[in-house]
């Protein structure tokens, strides 16, 4: 019987559970009698006891069948099983009470004294539940002793923390052992939750990590600040403790948390900041009921702008891109997940003036978000002619059509690489910025530029590349030990684009607060640690050298620029020099005309004339800077 009871392969046979429950309720009744009569049962009651016991057991067994209390697998006993036992015994006791009333009315004698019914119910509930808990604990200990289980801590001693513990006990209790709760509330320190001590998070965290071999820390607080989360993760990384995150309640499956839903912290969580406070009403006033055209809609930024704009109920969204498959996937997402049916997918190339004219003529957009661009620095360094065709000519085509068709606002997405550019990509974006600013003076359309740095997890960015290298156990490649970059999440960047678009009056270049720059090598080290690997043992970091056109440090403002504050603390306005539209327009037409020559040297030379601060870095075009410097020196000598 004992062997069958602890049969781990197929679970305890149901007849054993049924028999054990029957024995326990029988013993509970006998104990209730002993307690009721002070361990001296009267002779009259003792004579009646066998018949009463038989009838009592019959009723209890009927309810065993009705509630199927024997069908649960004991080693996986949960609160639902305990509730089933509670109501099963309650139903039987109610029947005993009813029989008591009937028998008393009939022959003035109780079937069972009321006190015995109550005592038996309490003892049976306690006995059946404790029995299951003991079997579950013994099973867990035999399968994997406590000393062999992984120690985990839960950050958050509130309801979410308790639910997280229950999820661990239910789904992974044989592998993990919760050794502590942590909470920011000092009043909870020293208390116990289900036998587990509660510690004060800020003061006790380091000591707990140092004194114990904690494999995982589970964050079960939903409203924790980004700064506090970063501090916790940094402390855990120092002790090689993985941080897991309980998802928001809205994401729980059928309203219940399972251990599999508790996910690893991502590198994005280390770089995110507190949520941005937007002027929702102002953005809604600008977008609600309007026709919105988004170029580059299938890209990282363009697609997120689409997702966020939907919330402001535009009349129609025109999603334009020349990448067929990503645009199709975005269309399906918008229709199936967002349930937004007023989106139009348009395959078009912003460089094709006639195609774009037809788009503007057909849809008559009120606002244009221009996100279409080539963005990869090394690629553009090798293909300057394509860079000017898309980033300069494509922007000019869209901006000119916005002016012609009297679009209310035109918002261009630019980059910090346009500031004191050192590569082709940054220079093309700076030329596009200049044209937008100059055109704003000539047009009723409000032309606005937004400028920010690297966007986390965007297509082709450093985060996905590092993830792929780590997953494949390849060396993580970093260009230079000192290279730093500003980072921003995709949703955060797009929120600020919408806010800037709503507040702009035309002609501004809006800069976003990018926080502190991050060393790329530190980013790589943290990603390796978050993956559970050891740097130098499981994986290496290899320095490959700066790529053509790449900077060590990014800037958000050029030397001649300064900033003005706005009502939003994360958005500034760059004050830049003004440009003559006719002169700039003429130079851009000349630059675009050089595409036909396919002479990179001639094209880049013209770009350097238009953007004097464009000094090539680690590039074949650096020689042009030397020639230009030599030419300027000769001119000075003549003077």
Residues 118 and 163 in one domain: no
Catalytic pick from 136, 177, 215, 417?
A: 417
Share of the chain above pLDDT 90, in %: 30
Residue 628 inside a domain? The answer is no
- Residue 573 CA to residue 576 CA, distance in Å, equals 9
Residue 549 inside a domain? The answer is yes
Burial 310-349 (b: 16+ CB within 10 A, else e): bebebebbbbbbbeeebbeebbeebeeeeebeebebbebb
Residues 343 and 284 in one domain: yes
Q: Is the pLDDT of residue 253 over 80?
A: no
Residues 131 and 154 in one domain: no
Q: Which residue has the tokens 């510690």?
A: 199
Query: Residues near 266 by Cβ (< 8 Å), separated by ≥ 6?
Result: 530
600-612: pLDDT as tens digits: 999 999 999 999 9
Q: Is the pLDDT of residue 64 over 80?
A: yes
Residues 220 and 316 in one domain: no
Q: Is the pLDDT of residue 361 over 60?
A: yes
- If one counts every other C-beta atom within 10 angstroms of the C-beta of residue 90, the result is 13
544-586: pLDDT as tens digits: 888 887 777 776 555 445 777 787 888 888 877 788 999 999 9
417 is catalytic: yes
Residues 307 and 328 in one domain: yes
Residues 165 and 51 in one domain: no
Last residue of a domain, one of 265, 295, 311: 265
Share of the chain above pLDDT 70, in %: 86
Last residue of a domain, one of 265, 300, 320: 265
Last residue of a domain, one of 209, 234, 265: 265
Residues 434 and 346 in one domain: yes
Domains in the chain, number: 3
The pLDDT score that the predictor gives to residue 307 is: 93
Residues 464 and 601 in one domain: yes
Residue 423 sits in a domain whose CATH number is 3.40.50.720
Residue 56 inside a domain? The answer is yes
Of the candidates 450, 276, 439, 461, the residue with the CA atom closest to the CA atom of residue 371: 450
Average pLDDT over residues 115-128: 86
Band of residue 73 on the pLDDT scale cut at 50, 70, 90:
low
Residues 448 and 376 in one domain: yes
Residue 536 inside a domain? The answer is yes
Residues 17 and 119 in one domain: yes
pTM passes above 0.75 = no
Number of helices and strands in the chain (H, E): 23, 22
Residue 47 inside a domain? The answer is yes
Residue 271 inside a domain? The answer is no
Residue 625 inside a domain? The answer is no
Residues 350 and 474 in one domain: yes
Residues 168 and 130 in one domain: no
Residue 615 inside a domain? The answer is no
The pLDDT score that the predictor gives to residue 320 is: 97
Which residue range forms the structural domain that includes residue 294? Answer: 280-610
């Amino acid at each position: 019987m004992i062997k069958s009871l602890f049969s781990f392969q197929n679970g305890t046979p149901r007849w054993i559970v049924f028999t054990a429950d029957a024995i326990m309720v029988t013993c509970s009744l006998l104990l209730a009698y002993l307690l009721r009569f002070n361990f001296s049962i009267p002779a009259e009651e003792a004579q009646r006891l066998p018949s009463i016991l038989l009838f009592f057991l019959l009723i209890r067994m009927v309810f065993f069948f009705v509630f199927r209390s024997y069908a649960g697998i004991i080693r996986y006993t949960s609160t639902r099983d305990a509730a089933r036992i509670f109501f099963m015994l309650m139903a039987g006791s109610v029947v005993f009470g009813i029989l008591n009333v009937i028998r008393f009315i009939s022959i003035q004698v109780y079937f069972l004294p009321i006190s015995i019914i109550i005592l038996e119910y309490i003892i049976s509930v306690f006995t059946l539940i404790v029995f299951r808990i003991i079997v579950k604990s013994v099973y867990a200990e035999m399968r994997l002793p406590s000393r062999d289980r992984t120690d985990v801590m839960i950050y958050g001693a509130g309801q979410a923390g308790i639910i997280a513990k229950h999820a661990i006990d239910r789904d992974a209790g044989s592998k993990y052992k919760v050794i502590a709760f942590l909470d920011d509330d000092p009043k909870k320190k020293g208390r116990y939750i289900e036998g587990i001590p509660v510690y004060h998070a800020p003061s006790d965290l380091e000591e707990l990590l140092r004194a114990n071999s904690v494999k995982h820390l589970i964050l079960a607080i939903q409203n924790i600040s980004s700064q506090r989360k970063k501090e916790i993760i940094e402390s855990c990384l120092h002790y090689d403790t993985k941080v897991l995150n309980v998802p928001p309640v809205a994401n729980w499956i059928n309203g219940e948390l399972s251990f599999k839903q508790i996910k690893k912290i991502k590198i994005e969580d280390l770089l995110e900041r507190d949520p941005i406070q937007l002027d929702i009403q102002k953005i809604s006033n600008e977008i609600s009921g309007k026709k919105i055209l988004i170029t580059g809609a299938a890209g990282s930024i363009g697609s997120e702008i689409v997702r966020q704009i939907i919330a402001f109920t535009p009349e129609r969204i025109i999603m334009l891109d020349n990448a067929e498959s990503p645009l199709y996937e975005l269309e399906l997402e918008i229709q199936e997940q967002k349930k937004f049916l007023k989106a139009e997918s348009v395959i078009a190339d912003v460089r094709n003036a006639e195609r774009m004219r037809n788009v503007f003529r057909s849809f008559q957009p009120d606002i244009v978000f221009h996100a279409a661009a080539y963005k990869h620095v090394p690629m553009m360094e090798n293909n300057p002619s394509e860079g000017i065709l898309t980033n300069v000519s494509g922007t000019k085509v869209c901006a000119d059509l916005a002016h012609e068709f009297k679009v209310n606002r035109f918002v261009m997405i630019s980059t910090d690489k346009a500031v004191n550019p050192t590569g082709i990509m940054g220079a093309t974006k700076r030329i596009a910025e200049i044209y937008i600013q100059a055109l704003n003076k000539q047009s009723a359309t409000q032309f606005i530029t937004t400028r920010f740095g690297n966007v986390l997890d965007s297509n082709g960015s450093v985060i996905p590349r590092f993830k792929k290298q780590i997953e494949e156990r390849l060396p993580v490649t970093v260009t230079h030990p000192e290279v730093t970059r500003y980072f921003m999440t995709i949703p955060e960047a797009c929120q600020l684009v919408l806010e800037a678009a709503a507040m702009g009056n035309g002609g501004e270049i809006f800069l976003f607060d990018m926080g502190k720059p991050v060393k790329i090598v530190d980013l790589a080290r943290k990603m390796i640690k978050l993956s559970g690997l050891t740097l130098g043992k499981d994986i290496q970091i290899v320095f490959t050298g700066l790529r053509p056109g790449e900077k060590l440090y990014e800037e958000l403002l050029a030397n001649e620029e300064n900033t003005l504050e706005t009502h939003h603390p994360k958005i500034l306005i760059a004050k830049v020099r003004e440009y003559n539209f006719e002169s700039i327009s003429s130079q851009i037409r000349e630059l675009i005309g050089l595409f036909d020559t396919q002479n990179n040297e001639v094209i880049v030379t013209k770009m350097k004339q238009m953007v004097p601060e464009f000094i090539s870095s680690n590039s074949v075009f650096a020689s042009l800077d030397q020639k230009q410097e030599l030419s300027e020196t000769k001119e000075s000598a003549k003077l």
